């Protein structure tokens, strides 16, 4: 069952109007919350990011944080799977016409769609993945988790056609992020990652990885990183809710460092796995 506008319905019965502004304009935002052993991971942080995305596009939030979490828990309780990825989607609704300015008195469309969570296997983590690079041709509000995902569609397709898993983006000679992940760089044992500004999505995994690096006393710099630094890095890795910490071993056909997943990527992923275990053992707290 998925949740659509106040009702729990089977996916085949979930109907959204063809004139929904999400469909016509991508006029909406979304979130993805990973769930381990039926426990949502960092739910308060995901809902805060959803609130920030809604506020940034002037779309009134239809639910309080508590209501969102309650809905997510209800959706989780109806699933057969223990590990899930919960997709939340809010659009500016169906105004009945195709007109750009915000409609008045139009309720938003709210969709919560669960799916089994598929994270990379231990073998995939050990092997790492290859990536291509591309100019970051997205807009200047990449901090909003907007439904307009055409750039990610095109860049991930280009990556797939090149036999790669991700596309690392550069804007004005500086690293921004991956098409659907944040990118960390290591040089001489120092981890670096771009700051959270309007040019990247503030990743929840990004935050966790920074916290874990700091807790374990690993040197880490949050700063702008040049394309040259990325191309000369000892290690590169991507982070996201579904990829966790995944080493990038090749960029544009050239090996990153020695061409194998680096020791810091492995350490951060093992810290991340241990952190996940603590979440799974705890009851839901919010």
Q: Which residues are catalytic?
A: 145
If one asks whether residue 85 binds ligand PMP (CB under 6 A), the answer comes out as no
If you search the block for the tokens 């809902």, which residue do you land on? 47
Q: Which stretch binds ligand PMP (CB under 6 A): 102-110, 189-197, 212-220, 237-245?
A: 237-245
Q: Within 205-224, which residues bind ligand PMP (CB under 6 A)? A: 205-206
How many of the chain's residues bind ligand PMP (CB under 6 A)? 13
The β-bridge relationship of strands 254-255 and 244-251 is antiparallel
If one asks whether residue 175 binds ligand PMP (CB under 6 A), the answer comes out as no
Q: Which stretch binds ligand PMP (CB under 6 A): 18-26, 113-121, 233-241, 257-265?
A: 233-241
Query: Does residue 162 contact residue 152 with C-beta atoms inside 8 Å?
Result: no
Sign of CA dihedral 207, 211, 213, 218: positive
If one asks whether residue 244 binds ligand PMP (CB under 6 A), the answer comes out as no
Q: Which is nearer to ligand PMP, 9 or 274 (CB)?
A: 274
If one asks whether residue 180 binds ligand PMP (CB under 6 A), the answer comes out as yes
**Of the candidates 275, 17, 257, 260, which has an alpha carbon nearest to the alpha carbon of residue 129?**
260
x/- site string to ligand PMP, residues 23 to 52, per CB under 6 A?
Answer: ---------x--------------------
Alpha helices by DSSP H, 10-144: 21-25, 43-56, 65-77, 122-127
**What distance in Å separates the CA atoms of residue 277 and residue 264, rounded to the nearest whole number?**
20
If one asks whether residue 181 binds ligand PMP (CB under 6 A), the answer comes out as yes
How many C-beta neighbours within 10 Å does residue 236 have? 27
Residues that bind ligand PMP (CB under 6 A): 32, 177, 180-182, 201, 203-206, 239-241
């Amino acid at each position: 069952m998925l949740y659509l506008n106040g009702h729990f319905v089977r996916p085949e019965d979930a109907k959204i109007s063809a004139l929904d502004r999400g469909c016509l304009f991508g006029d909406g935002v979304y979130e993805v919350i990973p769930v381990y052993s039926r426990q949502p991971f960092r739910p308060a942080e995901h809902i805060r990011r959803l609130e920030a995305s809604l506020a940034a596009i002037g779309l009134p939030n239809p639910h309080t944080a508590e209501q969102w979490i309650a809905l997510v828990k209800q959706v989780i309780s109806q699933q057969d799977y223990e590990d899930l990825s919960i997709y939340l989607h809010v659009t500016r609704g169906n105004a009945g016409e195709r007109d750009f300015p915000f409609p008045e008195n139009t309720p938003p469309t709210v969709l919560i769609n669960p799916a089994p969570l598929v994270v990379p296997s231990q073998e995939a983590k050990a092997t790492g993945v290859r990536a291509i690079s591309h100019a970051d041709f997205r807009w200047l509000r990449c901090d909003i988790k907007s439904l307009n995902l055409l750039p990610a569609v095109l860049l991930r397709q280009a990556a797939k056609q090149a036999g790669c898993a991700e596309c690392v983006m550069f804007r004005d000679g500086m690293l921004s992020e991956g098409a659907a992940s944040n990118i960390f760089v290591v040089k001489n044992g120092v981890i670096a990652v771009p700051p959270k500004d309007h040019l990247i999505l503030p990743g929840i995994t990004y935050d966790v990885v920074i916290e874990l690096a700091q807790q374990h006393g690993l040197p880490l710099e949050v700063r702008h990183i040049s394309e040259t630094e990325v191309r000369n890095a000892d290690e590169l890795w991507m982070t996201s809710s579904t990829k966790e910490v995944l080493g990038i071993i090749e960029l544009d056909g050239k090996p990153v460092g020695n061409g194998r997943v680096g020791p810091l990527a492995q350490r951060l992923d093992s810290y991340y796995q241990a952190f996940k275990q603590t979440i799974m053992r705890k009851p839901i707290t919010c």
